[in-house]
Structure 1
């Protein structure tokens, strides 16, 4: 899996990631969601450079113009619920894409720190021969992405798999590399070094779903 680490180079993406992490700015849910959406747009733009393009002639009021336009058939698949705002940012740039939604959440059967990833809902078009974009703000252990990939196998074999995430751990990326096809690619804004005992990214930003939409009861 090829990894594209955005903030290895200076860009406005670093500002938005820093604001997502900031415990004071996090109190403003609207701003948190907007920054997540902005990063979805930035990730989508960077990813778009790796799509297949074809030459098209466009009629203007004064003549003809040649443009190279993307020809990939894209399906954006987001992991509920945290992925919704990131999904919107990606969809802002790939507005003609098909969309897929899947639930993947941490289930704590003993109400302690141990958890398993459960996938219980899937709505998706065919993925056969398509360019699949898997989107989730946080790439912690990688278990959510891995379980989602398994669940999507019934929907066909995509031609390409692109993973988009905002913050991830090195361990999570290593876990993806063991399971995802070799030609898969990951676009990620920031990579952190550690996971805590609960499987949360350190320093990370906390629970992206809760910060976007409010806290939930533990399951």
Structure 2
């Protein structure tokens, strides 16, 4: 797997990441969502450098201009619900992309430390010979990303696979690296050191879904 960790260079991305992590700023849900969206835009820009381009002629009012334009047929698949603002950021740049959505969540067993990933809802167009962008803002254990990809397999074989995350734990990165082909790409804003005993990223930022949309209803 090709890993593109954007935190290896200092850019304006640092500002958005610091605000996502800052517990005093996190209380502003709209700002939190917007920062994830902006990070999605930055990740989309970096990802766009790896796409395939063909020269096109564009008629201007004065003459003809030659422009190299991407030719990939893109499908963006996001994991609900925290993936929505990240999806929007990607879609802001890949505005002609098709869209897929999937719900994948942790179902805890006998203890908070023991869980499995459950997929319940999935809407997806054909992926055959297309460029799949699989987006999940939090790459903790990596199990959600792998479970989602397994659920997508009946929709066809993508020509290219790009995984997009905001924050990952090194353990999660290692996990998906063992489950995806060597030519898949991971685009990630930063990688943290570890997971706690409940499988949450440390230092991380907390529960991205709750910070975006409010706490989940308890059954």
Q: TM-score range by the shorter chain?
A: over 0.9
Q: Deviations over 1:23-51 (max 9, x none)?
A: 00000001000000000000000000000
Greater mean deviation of Cα atoms: 114-123 or 46-55: 114-123
Q: Is the 8 A contact 2:112 2:198 kept in 1?
A: no
1:51 is aligned to 51
Runs (5+) with no aligned partner, structure 1: none
2:198 is aligned to 198
Partners of 1:112 and 1:163 lie apart in 2 by: 27
Q: Is the 8 A contact 1:137 1:166 kept in 2?
A: yes
Q: SS at 2:67's partner residue?
A: strand
1:95 is aligned to 95
Q: Is the 8 A contact 2:161 2:185 kept in 1?
A: yes
Following superposition, the deviation at residue 115 of structure 1 comes to: 1.4
Partners of 1:112 and 1:6 lie apart in 2 by: 32
1:188 is aligned to 188
| Aligned residues: CA RMSD | 1.0
1:147 is aligned to 147
| TM-score (norm. length: structure 2) | 0.98
| TM-score (norm. length: structure 1) | 0.98
Q: Deviations over 1:29-78 (max 9, x none)?
A: 01000000000000000000000000000011111000000000000000
Q: Deviations over 1:64-102 (max 9, x none)?
A: 000000000000000000100000000000000000000
Partners of 2:194 and 2:217 lie apart in 1 by: 26
Following superposition, the deviation at residue 109 of structure 1 comes to: 3.2
Q: Is the 8 A contact 1:103 1:122 kept in 2?
A: yes
Equivalent residues in 2 for 1:1-219 (5 A)? 1-110=1-110, 112-218=112-218
Following superposition, the deviation at residue 218 of structure 1 comes to: 5.0
Following superposition, the deviation at residue 110 of structure 1 comes to: 3.3
Partners of 1:164 and 1:41 lie apart in 2 by: 11
